Amino acid sequence: MSRAAFLLALLLGGCAVLPGETTTETHGTTSQFAFVSEAMKPEDLARVPETPWIVASGFATGAGLKIVDSRTRKAAFWFRNEADQVARDPLYPDCETSPDPALFTARGLSLRVTAPGQARLLVVNHGGREAIEIFAVDYRDTRKQPALRWQGCLAMPAGHVANSVASYSDGTVIATVLTRPGTSITDFVRGQPTGGVYERAPGEPAFRLLPGTELPGNNGLETAKDDSGFYVIAFGRREVVGYARHDTRQPLWHAQAPEFMPDNIHWDGDRLLLAGMVRDEPACGGVRQIVHGVADGMTCHRGWAVAQLDPARQSFSLVAYGPPDPTFNGVSAAVIVGRDLWLGSYQADRIAVRALP
pLDDT in tens, 111-156: 999 999 999 999 999 999 999 999 999 999 988 999 999 999 999 9
Q: Looking at the domain assignment, is residue 145 inside a domain? A: yes
pLDDT score, position 277: 98
Q: Looking at the domain assignment, is residue 71 inside a domain? A: yes
Residue 12 CB-density burial (10 A; 0-12 exposed, 13-18 middle, 19+ buried): buried
pLDDT for residue 318 is more than 70: yes
Q: Looking at the domain assignment, is residue 171 inside a domain? A: no
Q: How many residues does the chain have?
A: 357
pLDDT for residue 331 is more than 50: yes
Mean local confidence (pLDDT), 329-333 = 98
- Domains in the chain: how many in total? 1
Mean local confidence (pLDDT), 235-251 = 98
pLDDT score, position 5: 54
pLDDT score, position 7: 53
Rama region for 345: left / alpha / beta (φ>0; ψ in -120 to 50; rest): beta
16-30, 149-163, 195-209: which range is least confident on average?
16-30
Select from 237, 223, 110 the least CA-distant residue to 168.
Answer: 223
The CB density around residue 17, as the number of other CB atoms within 10 Å, is 17
pLDDT score, position 17: 43
The CB density around residue 180, as the number of other CB atoms within 10 Å, is 19
pLDDT score, position 15: 43
315-319 — which CB contacts under 8 Å span 24+ positions?
A: 315/255, 316/12, 316/255, 316/257, 316/258, 316/274, 317/12, 317/13, 317/14, 317/15, 318/8, 318/9, 318/12, 318/13, 318/14, 318/15, 318/16, 319/14, 319/15, 319/16, 319/17, 319/273, 319/356
Q: How far apart are CA 126 and CA 178, in angstroms?
A: 14
What is the per-residue pLDDT across 8-25, written as a single tens digit (0 to 9) for each?
554 555 444 434 333 444
Mean local confidence (pLDDT), 43-58 = 97
**Average confidence score pLDDT of the chain:** 93
Q: Looking at the domain assignment, is residue 230 inside a domain? A: no
% of the chain exceeding 70 in pLDDT: 92
Q: Looking at the domain assignment, is residue 25 inside a domain? A: no
Q: Looking at the domain assignment, is residue 75 inside a domain? A: yes
pLDDT for residue 4 is more than 70: no
Residue 208 pLDDT level (bands cut at 50, 70, 90)? very high
Q: Looking at the domain assignment, is residue 51 inside a domain? A: yes
Greater model confidence, 28 or 180:
180
Q: How far apart are CA 189 and CA 293, in angstroms?
A: 11
Range of the domain at 131: 46-155
Mean local confidence (pLDDT), 263-268 = 97
Q: Which residues contact 312 (CB under 8 A, 6 or more apart)?
A: none
Q: How far apart are CA 343 and CA 14, in angstroms?
A: 19
Q: Which residues contact 96 (CB under 8 A, 6 or more apart)?
A: none
Q: Looking at the domain assignment, is residue 314 inside a domain? A: no
